[in-house]
Amino acid sequence: MAAEERDPEDPVSKHPQPEFPQQDQSHPGWTGPMDPPPDHGEESYRGSGLLEGRKTVITGGDSGIGRAVALAFAREGADVLFTFLPAEEDEAAATTRLVTEAGRSAVPIACDIREEEQCRLLVERAVTEFGRIDILVNNAAYQMSQPDGIQAITTEQFDRVMRTNLYGMFWLSKMALPHIPAGGCIINTASVQAYKPSPHLLDYATTKGAIVTFTQGLAQMLASDGIRVNAVAPGPVWTPLIPATMPDTTTLGKQAPLGRPAQPAEMAPAYVFLASPQASYITAEIVNATGGTPLP
């Protein structure tokens, strides 16, 4: 086999490597200005019917990992309801297009999961649209780097991180459960930060550690009901959250053994597997996708 045929499968050279151009955006960040552009699997993901007919809810589905998961789920045969913040309407339109081009229903919902009532309305809308929820993906998250230490973390920031990353996951899991049948599942997005916290992301890392614990505890609680609960723990991933919240975008992922950040498209297959019948005996697990960084 010629070298040029092997190179695209080399995990080191498959996607762009640091250093990236320095780039800064206001929160929540947008895909369009990113350099290099993130890969959500638009040209590469091929479905095989693993989620045919499934009804799915994904928070933070407008961009990044959420968009890649929405695309992959749709190409596997699932209908997708996803959330976005009002400022992310253009991003949501791009995800909607990808899902509908795959021949599946796309339902974009502007929703701030920091608010319990909005979470309740979201679940009600999903049930109205689909009749049930087969797969809930708690993916939406907020982070803000604070290199100056704990003194720089305001109560406002701490509250936003906690409510987005933990409260929203708790409320949606609790509210969705009456509508998740046996055979359904919940997939949460954790992080390498849960195990190897970066000091400048103290509050964010704290929530990711809690997500691991929540996932493993809820999985045991729901096992007898036939509902599986798992999580994916990504390492550095090239998403709009990075230029919107990190002071240095040039060396992202350079510290990983693979020497680069992941693209969102590289995370989506883990979610597809955990949602699929092939993972029927897998619950309370954390799938680590860290580019080689060892985790417990």
Are 28 and 239 in contact by the 8 Å Cβ rule? The answer is no
Question: Could you give the 3-state DSSP secondary structure of residue 158?
Answer: helix
For residue 55, give the 3-state DSSP assignment: strand
Instruction: From residue 96, give the alpha-carbon distance in Å to each of 45, 104, 126, 155, 269.
Output: 16, 10, 16, 35, 19
User: At a CB cut-off of 8 Å and minimum separation 6, what does 215 contact?
Assistant: 188, 190, 229, 230, 231, 284, 286
Q: Rounded distance, CA 93 to CA 30, Å? A: 12
**Which residues on neighbouring strands pair with residue 228, listed in sequence order?**
185
Closest C-alpha among 169, 139, 135, 174 to residue 57: 135
| Cis-peptide, bond into residue 91, ω within 30° of zero | no
Contact residues for 167 (Cβ-Cβ < 8 A; gap 6+): 113, 114, 116
Active-site pick, 45, 142, 195, 204: 204
Whether the CB-CB separation of 167 and 114 falls below 8 Å is answered with: yes
**Catalytic annotation on 204?**
yes
The residues that are catalytic are 204
